[in-house]
Structure 1
Amino acid sequence: MRFTLRQLQVFVSVAQHESVSRAAESLALSQSATSTSLTELERQSDCQLFDRVGKRLSLNALGHQLLPQAVALLDQAKEIERLLSGKSSFGSLNLGATLTVGNYLATLLIGNFMQSHPECRVSLHVRNTAHIVQQIAHYELDLGLIEGDCQHPDIEVQPWVEDELTVFCAPQHPLAKRGSATLEQLTQEAWILREQGSGTRLTFDQAMRHHPQSLNVRLELEHTEAIKRAVESGLGIGCISRLALRDAFRRGSLVAVDTPELDLRRQFYFIWHKQKYQTSAMREFLEQCQALTAGVTRSDEIVLPPIV
C-alpha cells in the first residue's frame, strides 16, 4: 500500500480548509510536514488532487472522488483503533443543529446520549440551516439536525418530527385580546423575524407567499430568545416555533395568535452526507432521538428526560 493513514488525514484536512497552513494548525503539525505529506501522497500515486490558485488549494475532479472514501476510511480506522485499545467504538460525535433544534432539543438529547456513553466526546455547532447543510456537504460534521429544507444532491435527508410555527405577541398587544388575526390584520403590524437563510424564516415566507402586500419587518434577528425579548418589549409581533415558546406561553409573558389563513407547519430532519461512513455513535444517537420522539405528533409535545 503506497499511502498512509496520516497522508489521508492531511489530505482531508487540506480539502476542508483549502489551505496547507490552516490544515497544519488543525492537525497540530508544522506547515512543512503537512505540505511534505500531501506532496508525497500525490507523488507516490502519480496524480494531482488539487488545483492550486495562489495560496488556495481547491479539489480537482479526482480529489472530489477521493474525499468521501478517505473520510470513511479514517472514521473506520478510528473505530478499529479504539476497539484494539479495549475501548468502546463510541469515540466522538460531531453534531450540527439549527437554532430552534439546537437551543431547545439538541443539548438535552446530547445529555441523554452521554449518560449512556460517557466515554464519547460530543461537540455541537449551532448555526442556521444554510450553514449546517454546507458543513455536512464538506464533511465537517457527522450529523445535522435541521428545521429547514435541504435539496443538496450529496446529502441524505430523513424526516424526524413535525414542528409548527406560531404568530405571537405581548400580553398587552391588541391582538392578544382578539386571540386571532386575518392576513389583512397581520400586514398592518410591525414584525420581528428570523434572518434570511434560517429554516424558520423560509417556512414563514412560504406561508406568506400568496399575499401580495409586503410586511413591515422592523427587525431581523439571528436568535429566537432575542426575538422573544423584543416582542415582550412591545416592538412588534413575531413568528417562531411553538417549541421555543412553550415556557413563555405557560408563564403568560407571551400570547399565541391564531392565524387560520396561514399554514405554518414544517418538519425537523436528520441530515448526513450520503457517502459518509456511519459510525456506531451516529447510529446510536439517531436511534435514541427517534425513541424519545416515538408517538409524538409535534415538537412542543416532546417530554425529555431530566439530566442528572
Structure 2
Amino acid sequence: MRYSLRQLEVFLAVAHFENITRAAESLAMSQSAASSSLKELEQQFDIQLFDRVGKRLQLNEQGSLFRPKVEALLAQANELEEAFQQHTAIGHLKVGATLTIGNYLAVEIMARYMAKQPGAKVELEVANTEAIARKVANFELDIGLIEGELQHPDLEVVPWWEDDLVVFCAPGHPLAGKAKLSDDDLVAADWIVRESGSGTRQGFDRAMHGLLPDLQLKLELQHTEAIKRAVEAELGVGCLSTIALKDAFKRGSLIPLPAPHRDWHRQFYIILQRQKYRSAGIEQWLSLCWDSAK
C-alpha cells in the first residue's frame, strides 16, 4: 500500500482547517511532519490536492473528489479499531440537533443508544438548522436532526417527525381570554421569536405569510427557554413547538392561543452527508430515531 492512514488523516485535517499549522495541532504533530506527510502523499501519486492561496491550502476539484472516499475509509478503519478494543462494531458518534430536538428528543434517543451499546460515546452538538447542516455537509457531524426545511446538494434530507408550532402567552396577557386569534390580533401583538436561521423561525415565517412586514418583532432570542421566560414576564407573545411547551401548559404558567386559520404544521428531518460511510453506529442511531417517531 503506497499511502498510510496517517497521511490520510493529515489530508482531512488540512481540508478542514485550510492551514497546515492548525491541522498539525489537531493531530498532535509538528508542522513540519504534517507538511511532509501531505507532500509525500501528493508526490507518491503525482497529484495536487490543494491550491495554495497565500497561507491557506484550499481543497481543489481533485481533492474534493477524494475527500468523501478518504472520510469513508478512515471511518471504517476507526470502526475496526474500536471493534478490536471493545469487541463491538458500535463506536463514537457525533450528532447535531437543533434546539427543540436537542432539548426534548435527542437526549432520550442518546440514552437509549448508550443503553444498547455500553461503552459507546455520543457527542451531541446543539445549534440552529443552518449551523448543523453546514457541519454535516463538511463531515464534522455524523448525523443531523433539524427542524427547518433544507435543500443542499451534498445532503440527504429525510422526513422524520411530525410537529406543530403554537402561539402562546402568559395568563395575564390581554389576548389570554380570546378563544381564537384573528390576523388583526397577530399583527397587533408584540412578538418574541427565534432568530433567523432557526427551523422554528422558518416555520413561524411560513405560517405568517402575508403578515410578516406588519408584525411587531420585539425580541429575537436564540433559546426556547429564554423566549418562554420573556413571555411569562408578559413582554409579548411567542411561537414555539408544542413539544417545548407541554410542561408549561400543564402547569398553567403559559397558555396556548389558537389561530387555526394559519398553518402551524411542520416536519423535522434527519440529514446525512450523501457520501459519508454509514457505520454501524449511524445505522443504530437511525433505527432508534425511527422507533421514537412511531
Question: Where on the TM-score scale, by shorter chain, does this alignment land: which range?
Answer: over 0.9
Cα pair distance change 1:210/1:108, threshold 3 Å: same
What residue in structure 2 maps to residue 153 of structure 1?
153
What residue in structure 1 maps to residue 99 of structure 2?
99
Contact 1:187-1:213 at 8 Å conserved across structures: no
Cα pair distance change 1:137/1:86, threshold 3 Å: closer
Q: Is the aligned partner of 1:62 residue 2:62?
A: yes
What residue in structure 2 maps to residue 108 of structure 1?
108
Alignment of structure 1 residues 23-42 onto 2, 5 Å: 23-42=23-42
Question: Residue 52 of structure 1: SS of its match in structure 2?
Answer: strand
**RMSD over aligned Cα, in angstroms?**
1.2
Contact 2:187-2:211 at 8 Å conserved across structures: no
Equivalent-residue separation in structure 2 for 1:7 and 1:179 (angstroms): 65
What residue in structure 1 maps to residue 8 of structure 2?
8
Where in structure 2 are there 5+ consecutive unaligned residues?
none
Provide runs of 4+ in structure 1 moved above 6 Å: none
Question: Residue 89 of structure 2: SS of its match in structure 1?
Answer: coil
Question: Residue 174 of structure 1: SS of its match in structure 2?
Answer: coil
1:83 Cα deviation (Å)? 3.0
Contact 2:180-2:257 at 8 Å conserved across structures: yes
Aligned AA (1:92): H
Contact 1:179-1:256 at 8 Å conserved across structures: no
Aligned AA (2:149): D
Equivalent-residue separation in structure 2 for 1:42 and 1:213 (angstroms): 54
Alignment of structure 1 residues 220-235 onto 2, 5 Å: 220-235=220-235
Per-residue deviation, residues 24-52 of structure 1 (Å, max 9, x unmatched): 22212222221111111111111111111
Name whichever of 35-44 and 221-230 sits farther off.
Answer: 35-44
What residue in structure 2 maps to residue 306 of structure 1?
none
Identical-residue share of aligned pairs (%): 52
Equivalent-residue separation in structure 2 for 1:229 and 1:85 (angstroms): 47
Contact 2:129-2:146 at 8 Å conserved across structures: yes
Contact 1:52-1:58 at 8 Å conserved across structures: yes
Equivalent-residue separation in structure 2 for 1:220 and 1:238 (angstroms): 10
What residue in structure 1 maps to residue 207 of structure 2?
207
What residue in structure 2 maps to residue 131 of structure 1?
131
Equivalent-residue separation in structure 2 for 1:240 and 1:140 (angstroms): 28
Aligned AA (1:223): H
Per-residue deviation, residues 230-253 of structure 1 (Å, max 9, x unmatched): 000011001010100001000000
Contact 1:169-1:254 at 8 Å conserved across structures: yes
Where in structure 1 are there 5+ consecutive unaligned residues?
295-308
Per-residue deviation, residues 14-73 of structure 1 (Å, max 9, x unmatched): 111212222122212222221111111111111111111112121100010000000000
1:211 Cα deviation (Å)? 2.7
Taking structure 2 as the reference length, the TM-score comes to: 0.97
1:2 Cα deviation (Å)? 1.5
Equivalent-residue separation in structure 2 for 1:188 and 1:180 (angstroms): 14
Question: Residue 204 of structure 1: SS of its match in structure 2?
Answer: helix
Contact 1:72-1:276 at 8 Å conserved across structures: yes
What residue in structure 1 maps to residue 198 of structure 2?
198
Contact 2:15-2:58 at 8 Å conserved across structures: yes
What residue in structure 2 maps to residue 53 of structure 1?
53
Equivalent-residue separation in structure 2 for 1:85 and 1:197 (angstroms): 41
Q: Is the aligned partner of 1:167 residue 2:167?
A: yes
